[in-house]
């Protein structure tokens, strides 16, 4: 299972970097989305992949059961997803605006027009 997740993270990063290297700014944003998903998935996996052992302290016990699923990476990943959502929403609006102002979605052509 761990291997599958490792490959998934790798594929997300590779696809993200590939899209970012394209000339279109829209693909750039999609690439950023994929890359941040890769990072989120990596944090999730970093907490360990365990099922059926929630980090809940049973009655009378002082600590959660051995081998419990660490809740902190899940909290971290939730925070990161929320932040990523806001940032991507902003980036999408920015790209829309850039395309309209510049009349193109190609980064290279924007440079020519500014100079």
Partner 1 sequence: MAVVLPIVLPLITATIGLLVRRRVRVQRAIGVGGALALVPVALWLLFRVLHSGPQTVHMGGWPPGFAIAFTADVLSALLVAVTAVVAACGAVYSMGQIDSRRIAFSYFPLFHILVMGVCGAFLTGDVFNLFVWFEVMLIASFVLLAMGGERLQMAGAIKYVAINLISSAVFLVAVGILYAVCHSLSMAELPARLAIIADSNPSLVVAMAALFAVSFAIKAGLFPVFSWLPASYHTPPAAVAAVFAGLLTKVGVYAFLRMFASVFPPLDPVFAAILVVAGATMLAGVLGAVGQGDVRRILGFHIISQIGYIVLGVGLVGAADPQVRQFAVTAAVFYTIHHILVKTNLYFVAGAIETLAGTGRLTRLGRLAQHAPLLAVLFLIPALSLAGIPPLSGFWAKLATLKAVLAAGYPLLAAAALVAGLLTLVSMMKIWNSAFWQAPPAPARIRGTARLSPKLIGPMVVLAALTVFIGLFPGLLFAWAEQAAVELISAGMPGPLDANMASGTTEGGVM
Query: Which two three-digit tokens encode residue 66?
Result: 């051995």
The reply on whether position 55 binds partner 1 by CB under 8 A is no
Of 5, 68, 91, 106, the residue at the interface with partner 1 (CB under 8 A) is: 91
Instruction: Based on the shown chain and the rule CB under 8 A, indicate whether residue 66 belongs to the binding site for partner 1.
Output: no
User: What's the min distance (Å) between Cβ of 11 and partner 1?
Assistant: 15
Q: What angle do CA 20, 46, 89 make, to 5 degrees?
A: 40
Three-state SS string across 42-98, please? HHHHHCCCCCCCCCCCCCCCCCCCCCCCCHHHHHHHHHHHHHHHHHHHHHHHHHHHH
Asked if residue 79 binds partner 1 (CB under 8 A), the reply is: yes
Per CB under 8 A, does 64 bind partner 1? Answer: no
From 34-42, 50-58, 59-67, give the range in contact with partner 1 by CB under 8 A.
34-42
Contact indicator for 25, 95 with CB cutoff of 8 Å: yes
Name the residue with tokens 């989120």. Answer: 40
> What does the binding site for partner 1 look like in residue numbers (CB under 8 A)?
16, 20, 25, 28, 32, 35-36, 38-40, 42-43, 45-47, 70, 72-73, 76, 79-80, 83, 86-87, 90-91, 94-95, 97-98, 101-102, 107, 110-111, 113-114
């Amino acid at each position: 299972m761990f291997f599958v997740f490792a490959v998934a993270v790798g594929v997300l990063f590779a696809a993200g970097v590939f899209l970012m290297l394209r000339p279109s700014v829209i693909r750039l944003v999609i690439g950023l989305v994929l890359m941040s998903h890769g990072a989120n998935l990596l944090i999730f996996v970093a907490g360990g992949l365990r099922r059926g052992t929630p980090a809940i302290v049973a009655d009378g016990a002082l600590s959660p059961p051995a081998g419990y699923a660490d809740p902190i990476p899940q909290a971290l990943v939730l925070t990161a997803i929320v932040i990523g959502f806001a940032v991507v929403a902003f980036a999408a609006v920015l790209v829309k605006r850039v395309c309209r102002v510049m009349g193109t979605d190609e980064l290279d052509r924007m440079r020519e027009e500014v100079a």
